[in-house]
Amino acid sequence: MSIETDPPQLAAPDGLISRSHLGIEPFALYRPGSLADAASMIAAGAWAHAGGIDVAQRLRNGEAAPALVPLCKPGRGSPSGLEVLDEISLDQGVLFMGAAVTHARIETDPLVRTVRPDLADAWRTIGNVRIRSTGTLGGNLMAFDSGYDAAPILAAAGAELIFMEPDGSERRCAVADRPRDRLLVGCEVPLAGRVVYDRSLKPVASVAVGDDHIAIGCAYPTVEVLPDGAANTAAARAALGALPDPTDDVFASAAYRRRVIDVLAGRCLELHTAGAVNGGGLSSDGAYPPDASRSEVIAAAGQPAESLSDDSVDIELRLNGDPFSASTPPSEMLVDTIRSRAGLGGTRVGCDQAVCGACTVLVDGEPTASCSTFAWQSDGRDVLTIESGHMAAAGGLSAGPAAALPTVQQAFAELSAFQCGYCTPGLILTASALLARHPDPDRTTICDWLDSNVCRCTGYLMVIEAVEAAAAALRSPSRPMHGGTT
Q: What is the CATH number of the domain that holds 177?
A: 3.30.465.10
pLDDT at residue number 312: 86
Query: Could you say which of 274, 306, 326 is where a domain stops?
Result: 274
How deeply is 111 buried, as exposed, middle or buried, from its count of CB atoms within 10 A (0-12, 13-18, 19+)?
A: middle
Please report whether residue 469 resides in a domain: yes
pLDDT at residue number 26: 87
Domain that holds residue 167: 93-274
Residue type at 410 in one-letter notation: Q
394: left (phi over 0), alpha (psi -120 to 50) or beta: alpha
| Residue 332 Cα distances to 22, 125, 174, 315, 328, angstroms | 8, 30, 36, 12, 6
CA distance 213 to 227: 5
Quote the pTM value: 0.84
242 and 118 inside one domain: yes
Go through 165-180 and write b for each residue having 16 or more CB atoms within 10 A of its CB, e for each that does not: bbebeebeeebeebee
CA distance 317 to 295: 31
Query: Could you say which of 255, 274, 293 is where a domain stops?
Result: 274
What is the tally of structural domains in the chain? 2
270 and 392 inside one domain: no
Q: Among 347, 343, 295, 301, which Cα is nearest to 322's?
A: 343
* Residues paired with residue 333 on neighbouring β-strands, in sequence order: 374
103 within 8 A of 136, measured Cβ to Cβ:
yes
Strands (E), 87-149: 88-91, 94-98
pLDDT at residue number 337: 96
157 within 8 A of 137, measured Cβ to Cβ:
no
Please report whether residue 189 resides in a domain: yes
399 and 265 inside one domain: no
Please report whether residue 151 resides in a domain: yes
Please report whether residue 360 resides in a domain: no
268 and 402 inside one domain: no
Q: What is the DSSP letter of 339?
A: I
Helix (H) or strand (E) holding 95: strand 94-98
Please report whether residue 459 resides in a domain: yes
CB contact set of 423 (below 8 Å; sequence gap of 6+): 348, 350, 356, 357, 358, 453, 454, 455, 456
Query: Could you say which of 274, 299, 334 is where a domain stops?
Result: 274
pLDDT at residue number 373: 94
The distance of Cα 58 from the centroid of its chain, to the nearest Å, equals 16
CA distance 38 to 54: 19
112 and 257 inside one domain: yes
CA distance 386 to 333: 18
The CATH number of residue 452's host domain is 1.10.150.120
Peptide bond into 425 cis (omega under 30): no
113 and 252 inside one domain: yes
pLDDT at residue number 276: 44
CA distance 288 to 59: 44
Q: What is the DSSP letter of 411?
A: H
Please report whether residue 452 resides in a domain: yes
pLDDT at residue number 188: 97
CA distance 187 to 116: 14
Please report whether residue 433 resides in a domain: yes
CB contact set of 472 (below 8 Å; sequence gap of 6+): 479, 481, 485
CA distance 198 to 268: 7
Angle at CA of residue 221, ends 217 and 222, nearest 5°: 55
Please report whether residue 191 resides in a domain: yes
Q: End-to-end alpha-carbon separation of the chain, Å?
A: 42
How deeply is 343 buried, as exposed, middle or buried, from its count of CB atoms within 10 A (0-12, 13-18, 19+)?
A: exposed
Residues in the chain predicted with pLDDT less than 70, given as ranges, are: 1-19, 74-76, 276-310, 391-398, 478-486
Q: What is the DSSP letter of 19?
A: T
